[in-house]
Structure 1
Amino acid sequence: MAYCVILAHPDPGSFNHALARAACDALSGLGREVHCYDLYAEGFDPRLPAAELGRDAPLDDALARHCAAAAAAEGFVIVHPNWWGMPPAVLTGWVDRVLRPGVAYEFVAGDGGEGVPRGLLAAKAAVVLNTSNTAAAREQSVFGDPLERIWKDCIFGLCGVSDVRRRMFETIVTSTPAQRRDWLADAATLVEQTFGPAA
C-alpha cells in the first residue's frame, strides 16, 4: 500500500512545496511507496457537480484514480497554508469530491444520512502540515485553531483515521532560512515518527 501526500499551494517556490518534498523524502527513506498530488499543478477541479453527489455516481478517470488512491492509502500527509482558518478551496474541493460516500465513509443500514457515518479509509494515521502568518498564540486565543477541528474531527475522524498529528509552522513571513531548515527537519521527523517501524 502507498502513502498519499496531498499538497495545496499555488506557488511552486512556496515553503509548502518544501514541506511536501521533505515529507515525500522521509516516507521514501522509510521504504514506503509515495504518491504525491500537487493539486494546483495538476489543475484539480474543486467544484462538486450535482451528478457526482450519489454514492454510485459515475466518476471521470482522473477523479476515480484519486478516489482509489485515497481509499487504499496506508497514510496521508496533507500540506497547505492556513487561509481564513480554512484549507485553500482546491483542497476543500478535493475533500468534497474524493472523500466521498463509499470511498471514505458510509452510513449504516437504516440510516438515511442523518446519523454519524462509519469511516472506510484504510489509513491508520495522517499528518497535517500547515503554514501561517498568524502567531500561534493569537490563532489559539482569537480563532481557536479551526484547522485542528477540521482535520481531526470533521474530516479524518469521521473517515476512520483516529491518529491525526498536526504541526503549524509560523510565522512564515518573518522566518529566517535557518528557521525554515529546522522546520523542514521537524516535519520529516514527525512523518518518520508517525509512519516509521515503531508506529
Structure 2
Amino acid sequence: MKNILIINGHPDKESFCFAIAESYKMGAYKSNANVKLVHLIELKFNPILTYGYRKISPLEPDLIQIQQDILWANHLVFVYPNWWATMPALLKGFIDRVFLPGFAFKYRENSPFWDKLLKGKTARLIVTMDTPSWYYWLINRSAGHNAMKIGVLKFCGINPIKITTFSPIKSSDEAKRKKWLNEVEKLGYEQK
C-alpha cells in the first residue's frame, strides 16, 4: 500500500487546482492508499530563503511537519498552475525552505557531486496552464516542467516523475473540466 502526499501549490482556494487535488485524493482513497493532502496556502511559513544555504533559518512547525510527511510518502503529487512558464512563488518558496541540504540532498566535501537523500520515492506533477501545451513545449521548452522534474526532484533522488498537463484552462468549459477531474481521479486510483 502506498503512502501518497499531495501538495497543492495554488494560492487560490477557489482554483481548479484545488478541485484537481481533491479528485486525486478521492481516487487514491478508493484504492486504499494512505493519503495526505496539503494546501500550501494553509501553512504558516516564510517562503523566503533569507540567507541561501550560508545560514539555514529555523523551520516553522508546519515545515517540520511537511518534511516528516515527505519522508513518510512513497509517492509525491504536486498540483500547481504554470505562471510565467514556471511555478507560483508560493510553491517555489516552499521548495526553497523545505528541500534543504541534509534533508533532500547532501553536498560531498571537496567534490562536485552530492548525495540524493530522497531516493526510492516517485512523483507526479499535475500542472494547469492557459498556454497551449504545444506552445509551451515549442517556445518555452517546457521550462517549468524541467525545473521541477530535473532541477528539484531528480536532483534529490526522486524518480520516476510523470507529468500531466491540463491546458488551456481559461477557455475550458465545465464539461472539459469534469473530464479532466475524472482523469485525475483515475490517476489517484492507479496511484500514478
TM-score by length of 1: 0.86
Q: Hey, what's the Cα distance between the residues in 1 that align with 2:167 and 2:28? A: 24
Q: Which amino acid aligns with 1:162?
A: N
- Percent identical: 26
Instruction: Check whether the contact 2:127–2:164 (CA below 8 A) recurs between aligned residues.
Output: yes
Per-residue displacement from partner, 1:90-142 (whole Å, max 9, x unpaired)?
A: 1001111111111111123543xxx2322111552101001111111211111
- In 2, Cα distance between equivalents of 1:165 and 1:38: 21
Partner of residue 180, structure 2: 183
Can you list the C-alpha shifts for 1:166-196, whole angstroms capped at 9, x where unaligned?
Answer: 111001111011111111111222333344x
**What runs of 5+ residues in structure 2 fail to find an aligned partner?**
none
Q: Which runs of 5+ in 1 are unaligned?
A: none
Q: 1:12 to 1:60 in 2, by over 3 A?
A: closer
Distance 1:58 1:42, change over 3 A: closer
Partner of 2:35: 34
1:24 maps to: 25
Aligned to 2:82: 82
Moved >4 Å (runs of 4+): 51-55
> Distance between the aligned counterparts of 1:95 and 1:126, measured in 2?
14
Matched, 1:69 2:69: yes
Counterparts in 2 of 1:114-193, with a 5 A limit?
Answer: 115-121=112-118, 123-193=120-190
The corresponding residue for 1:7 is: 8
Paired residue secondary structure (1:9): coil
Q: 1:58 to 1:20 in 2, by over 3 A?
A: same
Pick which of 29-38 and 80-89 moved more.
Answer: 29-38
